[in-house]
Amino acid sequence: MTDSSELAWYKSSYSGTEGDNCIEIAVAEQAVCVRDSKDVARPHFSVGHDEWARFVSSVAHD
């Protein structure tokens, strides 16, 4: 797992001003890392670039 302190995290543009139910992502060399924006001290998880692209594509089409 990639050290999260070395990553550039980005919050979803759909995150409201309240900050509820939001994730942050960081694109690393080997994977896309995902974490809860409300509790950044918790461990993040990572998915491969291809899997992330499939996920984003499927969400965009719903």
Low-confidence ranges of the chain (pLDDT < 70): 1-5, 16-20, 62
Output the pLDDT for position 33.
Answer: 96
Output the pLDDT for position 61.
Answer: 75
Output the pLDDT for position 22.
Answer: 84
What pTM does this model have? 0.77
List all residues 6 or more positions away from 40 whose beta carbon is below 8 Å from its beta carbon: 4, 9, 24
Output the pLDDT for position 7.
Answer: 92
Output the pLDDT for position 16.
Answer: 66
Output the pLDDT for position 38.
Answer: 85
Q: Are 44 and 62 in contact (CB under 8 A)?
A: no
User: Which of left, alpha, beta for 26 (phi over 0: left; psi -120 to 50: alpha)?
Assistant: beta
